[in-house]
């Protein structure tokens, strides 16, 4: 995609000034603006199933499209899970502080390298307790947990069609995502 704009003062300003077609999203990942096309239906069905499961078992809200500021850039997870108060804390802010986010999830798309690398580092450095990566290319689901000193201390891999036990504050197993 080609984007034309006046010279911005920073990459963050450029990110905010982008005019994208509906469904496209732009993130600032390790100093680069990355624009991705709308996800396919399989991708969205995985996110919808995960959100439905979370809604059945908890009082947390699960939403796509939440912009988060991390030490590695400005990311938009496929799914962000937090308490209801988190979502009403800054109603007019596009890029949010990740403090209070309980879980983020990504489903790999056409280029999974950022989901497996920069986003693992960024979410861990931001102190987000759980990062669930549904890696369709590798045919596995990975749960990253226990962020400490800027990175996740635990990484557990599951078969992509199997269940993934989510630790507290969730305490249930996510199944049937793919």
Give the model confidence (pLDDT) of 12-40 as tens digits: 999 989 999 999 999 999 999 999 999 99
Where in the sequence is the domain holding 53, given as residue range(s)? 39-174
- The count of domains in the chain is 1
**Which pLDDT score is estimated for 169?**
97
pLDDT single digits (tens) 103-114: 999 999 878 999
State the pLDDT confidence band at 8, using cuts at 50, 70 and 90: low
Using the Cα atoms of residue 44, residue 47, residue 53 and residue 58 in order, give the sign of their dihedral: negative
- Note whether residue 10 is domain-resident: no
Element containing residue 133 per DSSP (H, E): strand 130-135
Most confident residue range from 89-93, 107-111, 124-128: 124-128
**Quick check: 49 and 62 in contact, CB under 8 A?**
no
pLDDT at 1 over 60: no
Helices (H), 33-112: 41-57, 84-87
pLDDT at 4 over 50: no
Measure Cα distances from 38 to 12, 25, 82 in Å. Answer: 22, 8, 24
- Note whether residue 6 is domain-resident: no
Element containing residue 35 per DSSP (H, E): strand 32-36
Phi and psi at residue 55, in whole multiples of 5°?
Answer: -65, -35
- Note whether residue 140 is domain-resident: yes
pLDDT single digits (tens) 50-87: 999 999 999 999 999 899 999 999 999 999 999 999 99
State the pLDDT confidence band at 154, using cuts at 50, 70 and 90: very high
- Note whether residue 131 is domain-resident: yes
Task: Report the pLDDT averaged over residues 113-119.
Answer: 96
């Amino acid at each position: 995609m080609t984007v034309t704009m006046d010279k911005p003062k920073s990459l963050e300003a450029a990110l905010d000034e982008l005019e994208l077609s509906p469904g496209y999203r732009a993130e600032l990942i390790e100093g680069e603006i990355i624009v991705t096309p709308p996800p396919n239906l399989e991708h969205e069905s995985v996110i919808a199933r995960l959100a439905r499961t979370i809604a059945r078992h908890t009082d947390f809200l699960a939403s796509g499209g939440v912009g988060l500021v991390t030490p590695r850039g400005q990311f938009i997870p496929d799914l962000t899970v937090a308490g209801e108060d988190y979502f009403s804390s800054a109603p007019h802010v596009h890029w949010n502080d990740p403090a209070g986010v309980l879980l983020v999830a990504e489903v790999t798309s056409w280029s999974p390298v950022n989901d497996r690398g920069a986003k693992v580092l960024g979410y861990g450095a931001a102190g987000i307790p759980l990062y669930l990566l549904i890696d369709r290319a590798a045919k596995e689901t990975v749960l990253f947990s226990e962020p400490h000193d800027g990175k996740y201390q635990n990484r557990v891999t599951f078969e992509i069609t199997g269940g993934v036990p989510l630790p507290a504050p969730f305490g249930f197993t996510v199944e049937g995502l793919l």
